[in-house]
Amino acid sequence: MLQMCAETGYETRYETLSAKVSDIIKNKNSVIIVAVDDENKPAGWIQLEVSNFIFSERTCNILGLFVDKKYRGRRIGKKLLEKAAEWAKANNCIGLEIYSDITRIDSHEFYKHLDFKHIKTQQNFYKSMKFIDKEQAKD
């Protein structure tokens, strides 16, 4: 998974990734589903989390979906989304939602092909928490 994270532009250390995966596994409202190849090596993954905002219905947010380049075109992404839908249903969610960067045109077409609807365009804002040490935040 480290290599796949790096391919998406999110490089991280093994220790950091391991700690984050451990936290996700402990949280009953989130999950990572991993697709593996014939040699049991990761071919793709999807990270899900239930969002239960006060202003909307209980929804399953897709926080990340990635299929390794060498496995694309083999329906792995579609199968991961099918598993995501099963998990969302089991967790009483009314739908799946994903935010996708405006530059990821191929991804947008992929989602539309699988009956996802483009519902809004928004801007993303970020505020640095300078009082938190960057090394601390990684863990």
Which sequence spans correspond to the domains of the chain? 2-138
For range 107-119, the mean pLDDT: 95
Which fold is adopted by the domain 2-138?
A: Aminopeptidase (3.40.630)
Q: Which of 13, 75, 84 is nearest to 46 (CA)?
A: 84
- Tell me: pLDDT of 108 over 90: yes
pLDDT digits (tens, 9 = 90+) for 44-94: 999 999 998 888 899 999 999 999 989 999 999 999 999 999 999 999 999
H-only helix segments in the chain: 2-7, 14-26, 76-90, 105-113, 134-138
Contacts of 61 by beta carbon, 8 Å cutoff, 6+ apart = 48, 49, 50, 51, 96, 97, 98, 99
- Tell me: pLDDT of 133 over 70: no
